[in-house]
Amino acid sequence: MAGMSVSAFHRNFQAVTALSPIRFQKQIRLQEARLHLANRPDDVTRAARLVGYDSPSQFSREYRRQFGVPPSRDAVRMRETAPIAGRMLP
């Protein structure tokens, strides 16, 4: 589709994004899961499944690697630091 061999595509993709296509896709999936967790912090397993992970433990490992904390802890942190609608900031 891109008009180049698989190896040429991989090389060009990595030159532009600094990531392999697989790593780029994984990063996008984990960011999408993180957005889901920001809205529904008690739903880690569902977030994993929504972005294509069949294994919650694999999802947890990769999430921790990407964001530095397990998904459940990150979800709680995001919820605690999220601005409350209508609240005036000091």
Chain segment 10-34, per-residue pLDDT in tens: 999 999 999 999 999 999 999 999 9
Distance CA 20, CA 1 (A): 18
Provide mean pLDDT across the span 30-39: 93
Tokens of 58: 């694999």
Provide mean pLDDT across the span 36-40: 88
Q: In the chain, where are the structural domains located?
A: 20-80
* Most confident among 35-44, 52-61, 77-86 (mean pLDDT): 52-61
CATH class, 20-80 region: mainly alpha
The structure's pTM equals: 0.78
**Per-residue pLDDT tens for 41-51?**
888 999 999 99
Tokens of 85: 């609608």
For residue 12, CA distances in Å to 8, 73, 80, 87 come to 6, 36, 41, 47
Give the model's confidence band at 88: pLDDT under 50 very low, under 70 low, under 90 confident, else very high: very low
Residue that the structure tokens 């904390």 belong to? 69
Residue 58, number of CB atoms within 10 A of its CB: 11
